[in-house]
Amino acid sequence: MRVFLLGASGSIGQGLVHEMLARGYEVTALSRSDTSDSLLTKWGVTPCKGDLRDPFSWAKKAVGCAAIVHAAAVPFDDMPAVDRDVTNALIAAAKKTTHRPRLIYTGSCWLYGETGDQIAHEGPPFDPHPSFEWMITSAEKLLACRALSTAILTPGMVYHRDGGVFRRFLEPAQAGRPIEIWKSGEVRWPLIHRDDLSNAYCNLIERPHLSGHFNAATETGVRVAEIADVIASALGSSADHRVLSVDQVIERYGAWASGCTIDQQMGSERLRQEAGWAPKALDWRRSDLMERLSVL
Ligand SMILES: NC(=O)c1ccc[n+]([C@@H]2O[C@H](COP(=O)([O-])OP(=O)(O)OC[C@H]3O[C@@H](n4cnc5c(N)ncnc54)[C@H](OP(=O)(O)O)[C@@H]3O)[C@@H](O)[C@H]2O)c1
């Protein structure tokens, strides 16, 4: 199967490329730099030089493939307009094709907002973090387009062998410095290992009759203090955590970062029941990341 990937060099995309190639897909990926070109070529992926900000230059090529995965909508200031144009370009190009391309659009768990002790299930109602609200418009437009077969895949916080969302905990813990806890250690994050997420993307690609919203989390909500404690202990650090207020987080890291302060739980029943999803990394404390840290 020929697929076109946006975001191949990213945290999610790198794992997804590996899974797609293992499944025998022929992968073309958007690349905006020579560095990404060489990385992609080394992996066996065909680079397509282009930028999200110029979608009409590559959209025809993308919809020429059987499937497209969009995992590149990162929260830059201009992303609402950029992603609107990407969406419009894909829709316009799809309307001119004779086949119906499969599209998997990556959502954000922060669209569900605070859930506290409740569990967010697939799709609306949303209570979006302002930095990601535009994703809802893109998702709705894509789902409504009959020229595309669209599913929205919303991952929890993605970790992997090199860290992923836990990465900012690793360096201070390794140096024996306090790990920053944003807002409160009681905040819960839904978690997913990148390998399980990659399987979720591919399972959805291979089931084009499935439309609408799918969540992907293997642990519905794990407290951030527990994550920080386990990582600090694995790296031999006894330093206390340092708590930053939401205002301090925004001032230091930008408005998007306050998403990490949302106390949330998210379930993935639809993916398990309808898409044959059988995740393997059910406990992040026994993951390949923790195995790696324990021998450092
Ligand atoms: N990571 C998570 O825990 C998580 C959880 C839920 C949802 N998501 C969503 O998943 C998506 C991907 O997240 P990620 O963590 O993998 O992001 P990431 O590591 O920052 O990677 C972003 C990817 O998008 C590409 N990209 C960004 N701007 C581009 C542009 N103007 N033109 C072409 N390519 C561009 C980057 O290419 P370069 O290498 O050239 O920069 C990179 O390949 C985002 O929409 C994010 O909101 C992520």
Q: Looking at ligand 1, which residue's alpha carbon is closest to its atom 21?
A: 10
Atom of ligand 1 at shortest range from CA of 72: 24
Identify the residues whose C-beta falls under 6 Å from ligand 1.
Answer: 7-13, 30, 32-33, 36, 51-53, 71-74, 106, 108-109, 155, 157-158, 165
Eight-class DSSP state of 27: E
Arithmetic mean of pLDDT, 78-87: 97
Side-chain-facing half-sphere of 215: CA atoms under 13 Å: 24
Atom of ligand 1 at shortest range from CA of 155: 6
CA of 224 to the centre of ligand 1 (A): 23
CA of 9 to the centre of ligand 1 (A): 8
Under the banding of pLDDT at 50, 70 and 90, the label for residue 226 is: very high
Arithmetic mean of pLDDT, 30-43: 97
Percent share of the chain, pLDDT over 90: 98
Q: What is the pLDDT of residue 295?
A: 78
pLDDT digits (tens, 9 = 90+) for 197-220: 999 999 999 999 999 999 999 999
**Of 129, 124, 32, 135, whose CA–CA distance to 80 is shortest?**
135
Q: Looking at ligand 1, which residue's alpha carbon is closest to its atom 25?
A: 7
User: How far is Cα 193 from Cα 277, in angstroms, rounded to an integer?
Assistant: 13
Q: What is the pLDDT of residue 283?
A: 97
User: How far is Cα 4 from Cα 119, in angstroms, rounded to an integer?
Assistant: 33
Output the pTM of the full model: 0.98
Arithmetic mean of pLDDT, 177-201: 98
Q: What is the pLDDT of residue 53?
A: 97
The residues spanned by each domain of the chain are 2-160+192-217+267-280
Q: Domain 2-160+192-217+267-280 belongs to what architecture?
A: 3-Layer(aba) Sandwich (3.40)
Q: Residue 296 pLDDT more than 80?
A: no
User: How far is Cα 295 from Cα 282, in angstroms, rounded to an integer?
Assistant: 21
The DSSP annotation for 213-275 comes to EEEE-SEEEEEHHHHHHHHHHHTT--PPPEEE-HHHHHHHH-GGGGGGG----B--HHHHHHS
Say how many Å lie between the first and final Cα of the chain, rounded: 40
Q: Residue 250 pLDDT more than 80?
A: yes
Output the CA–CA distances (angstroms, integers) from residue 243 to 183, 235, 247, 284, in the order listed. 6, 20, 12, 23
Residues 6+ apart with CB under 8 A from 251: none
Atom of ligand 1 at shortest range from CA of 52: 32
CA of 233 to the centre of ligand 1 (A): 30
Q: In 3-state terms, what secondary structure has residue 289?
A: helix
Q: What is the pLDDT of residue 255?
A: 96
Arithmetic mean of pLDDT, 66-81: 95
Under the banding of pLDDT at 50, 70 and 90, the label for residue 76 is: confident
Q: What is the pLDDT of residue 110?
A: 98
What size, in residues, is the chain? Answer: 296
Q: What is the pLDDT of residue 294?
A: 84
